[in-house]
Amino acid sequence: MGGLSKKAFQISALSAQIDAPSVILDAGNLLFKPKAAPVTVDEKITAAGIMDIQQLMAIDAVAVGPHDLAAGIDFLLASRRRGFPWLSANIVDRNRSPLFAPSLMITRSGLDIGIIGLTGSGASLPQGTHLADWREVLPRQLQRLDRSPDMVIILSSLSASENVEMIKQHPEIDILITADHIQGNIAPKITGRTLMTQTQSQGKFLGQLVVDWLPGHPWAHDQSQHQIRLRQRLENIDRRLLHLGQEQRQNRSGNSDSEYVRRLGQEREDIIRQLGGILAQQEKMKTGEIAASRYTHAFIGLNSNLQSDPRVSEKISRIKESVAESHLRPQAGAAPICSGKQ
């Protein structure tokens, strides 16, 4: 759980650096690792502590993932009553009413942001409760957002193929954040009009997405990584040309080397043209000549050398104490679960 204290510190530090309002989201599968064995008392205590810490970090919304339901739906419903911001539009009762809030509307710097949670398959739900087909649920939820949002975000633990199907059917989705436990970090990619990304689960990384949003305008493709690769290739070519030039001056090169130098020169010119095009496009976006929404991203590894948030570190110590105390209680009855803010 030590990653949570480092995550909290990083969120505070990054928010101060950017000096812009932030939205803190999680697409689900937050509490438990995927496994077949029943959840233990220790794992419930830890999960309850994780929810308390997330609220301490002022998380805005968390979609219910199938692994979050490992301790039973009542475990999550109890935390919802204590104010934890669970979202799921497709966990419904026999009357097809959602058991959790299906969506949330928040405002940051005058920007209205609509957030919808979708739960993937795989969890065992009690009688009278079932997982509705997102294809039926999502269109209604998009229409039912309180007011027309400037941005629509979906938090989804659906399968990769379902997520792709979803954004093809609903181009009004601006950002899709996924929680596929099979995959780790997924760098943002644009499909149609939707930006899709994912941060590895279980607190090993903090995903940061910085958005310069222009409502109604498409995403501009992030060329930064391509730009870096082109510059690296250009440096390699320049080093190779320098080496070949030295060989030529020493009369050690032949006709085959001359042909190779010509090909390298052509490739160098092509790379310079590509870099020039990227820079020109970036400048036009900065000046507003090209109207597009832009983004940058980072996956921050929460390793041991990062600074910790003292409030969260203290909370983690209390959780560990509760786990240790649970081992001293009689095992015949159910041990009480540590939960609630302090």
Q: Of all residues in the chain, what percent carry a pLDDT higher than 70?
A: 92
- 3-state helix, strand and coil shares in percent for the chain, rounded to the nearest 5: 40, 20, 40
| Shared domain check, 28 and 120 | yes
Residue 124's identity, in one-letter code, is S
Rounded to an integer, what distance in angstroms lies between the CA atom of residue 315 and that of residue 82? 17
- Does any domain span residue 218? no
- In this structure, the strands spanning 175-178 and 194-198 are parallel
Among 17-21, 102-106, 182-186, the least confident range: 17-21
Three-class secondary structure of residue 68 per DSSP = helix
Q: pLDDT tier at 333 (50, 70, 90 boundaries)? A: very low
Tally of domains in the chain: 2
- Does any domain span residue 313? yes
Cβ atoms of 194 and 175 closer than 8 Å = yes
- Give per-residue pLDDT as tens, 237-250: 999 888 888 877 77
Q: pLDDT tier at 181 (50, 70, 90 boundaries)? A: confident
| Shared domain check, 207 and 74 | yes
Please determine, for residue 202, whether its predicted confidence score (pLDDT) is greater than 90: no
Q: Of all residues in the chain, what percent carry a pLDDT higher than 90?
A: 60
- Does any domain span residue 333? no
Q: b or e along 210-246 (b: 16 or more beta carbons within 10 Å of the residue's beta carbon)?
A: ebebbeeebbbebbeeeeeebeeebeeeeeeeeebee
Q: Going by C-beta distance under 8 Å and a sequence separation of 6 or more, which residues neighbour residue 214?
A: 291, 292, 293
**pLDDT given for residue 252 in this prediction:** 58
User: Average pLDDT in the 245-261 region?
Assistant: 71
| Shared domain check, 202 and 272 | no
| Shared domain check, 231 and 268 | yes
Q: pLDDT tier at 254 (50, 70, 90 boundaries)? A: low
| Shared domain check, 252 and 200 | no
Assign residue 23 the CATH number of its domain. 3.60.21.10
- Does any domain span residue 331? no
**pLDDT given for residue 255 in this prediction:** 57
Q: Going by C-beta distance under 8 Å and a sequence separation of 6 or more, which residues neighbour residue 257?
A: 244, 247, 248
Q: pLDDT tier at 227 (50, 70, 90 boundaries)? A: confident
**pLDDT given for residue 33 in this prediction:** 87
Show the tokens assigned to 113. 């942001």
| Shared domain check, 144 and 274 | no
Please determine, for residue 87, whether its predicted confidence score (pLDDT) is greater than 60: yes
Query: What's CA 230's distance to the chain center, in Å?
Result: 27
Q: State the pTM of this model.
A: 0.80
**pLDDT given for residue 331 in this prediction:** 55
Instruction: For residue 325, give the nearest of 336, 312, 314, 339 by alpha carbon.
Output: 336
Residue 15's identity, in one-letter code, is S
**pLDDT given for residue 318 in this prediction:** 93
**pLDDT given for residue 340 in this prediction:** 46
- Give per-residue pLDDT as tens, 292-312: 788 888 999 988 888 999 999
Range of the structural domain that residue 101 is part of: 2-213+294-326
| Shared domain check, 268 and 316 | no
- Does any domain span residue 132? yes
| Shared domain check, 243 and 128 | no
- Does any domain span residue 340? no
- Does any domain span residue 338? no
- Give per-residue pLDDT as tens, 145-160: 867 899 999 999 999 9
Average per-residue pLDDT in the chain?
88
**pLDDT given for residue 19 in this prediction:** 77
| Shared domain check, 282 and 162 | no
Show the tokens assigned to 271. 């790379």
| Shared domain check, 91 and 169 | yes
| Shared domain check, 11 and 92 | yes
| Shared domain check, 198 and 245 | no
- Does any domain span residue 334? no
